Amino acid sequence: MDVGLAEPVPKKDQDCPAKPPARDSLSDKERTRIHTEYLWDQDFIGAVAKRIEDSIWIFGRNLSEYPFFTSDNPVAFKTGDNRKWIKAGFLTEGTYVVFPLSPHIVMYCKERSFWHKVAVFDNALSPVDFTLPMVEHENAGQVFMAGRFVVSPVDDFKFARGFAQTIGTDRYAPR
C-alpha cells in the first residue's frame, strides 16, 4: 500500500547549523512548558482563532509534478513581506498562514487589513499556476516548521535535506 513517505528532519548535531541562541538557551522541558501555557491561554487561543476566522482564505492548486509536503507541524507562518518563515509572532501585522491541505492544494489565511487587495480571492481558488520553484518555496515552510518529520507522497527529499541545512543561516537573506 502506497501511503506516503516520511523523512526525519536532521537534528542540530546531524549536519545542520546551530539554532539561534535564544532557542538553544531553553531546555526541552522549558519549551514544552511555554508551549503548554500558550495552549491553555484562552485569550491567546481566541485571538489566533479569530485571526484565522477573519482572514482572507485563498486556495492554491499545484498542477506541477512535484507535490506539496506536509510535516508534523503543518501550519506554517510567513511574514507579510513574504521573505521569512517564522515560528513566533503569528499575530504580527501581515503575517499569514500557509497550510497544505493535500499534495495538490494549499490554503493561505491572509490578514484582511494588510492583504485587502487580494480580498477578491477570498474563499476562492487562486488563478496562479504553481511552478516547481513556487512549490519548493512552500515546501521550505514545511521543512522549517517540522519538529521531527517532513511527509511527501513521493520518495524525493533532496530539496528538504538541502533546505534543512540552511535553517539558522543567512543563506537566503535579502542582499
Cα separation, 20 vs 135, whole angstroms? 27
- Structural domains counted in the chain: 1
| DSSP percent split of the chain into helix, strand, coil, nearest 5 | 30, 20, 45
pLDDT of residue 32: 75
pLDDT of residue 21: 40
SS3 state of residue 86:
strand
Establish if 104 belongs to a structural domain.
yes
Establish if 42 belongs to a structural domain.
no
Establish if 43 belongs to a structural domain.
no
* pLDDT averaged per 10 residues in sequence order, the chain, 175 residues: 50 40 68 74 83 94 94 92 85 92 96 96 95 93 91 90 82 64
Establish if 41 belongs to a structural domain.
no
pLDDT of residue 9: 57
Establish if 44 belongs to a structural domain.
no
Establish if 128 belongs to a structural domain.
yes
Establish if 65 belongs to a structural domain.
yes
Establish if 117 belongs to a structural domain.
yes
pTM: 0.76
Range of the domain at 117: 5-18+55-164
Report how far apart, in Å, the C-alpha atoms of 21 and of each of 29, 87, 168 are.
17, 15, 10
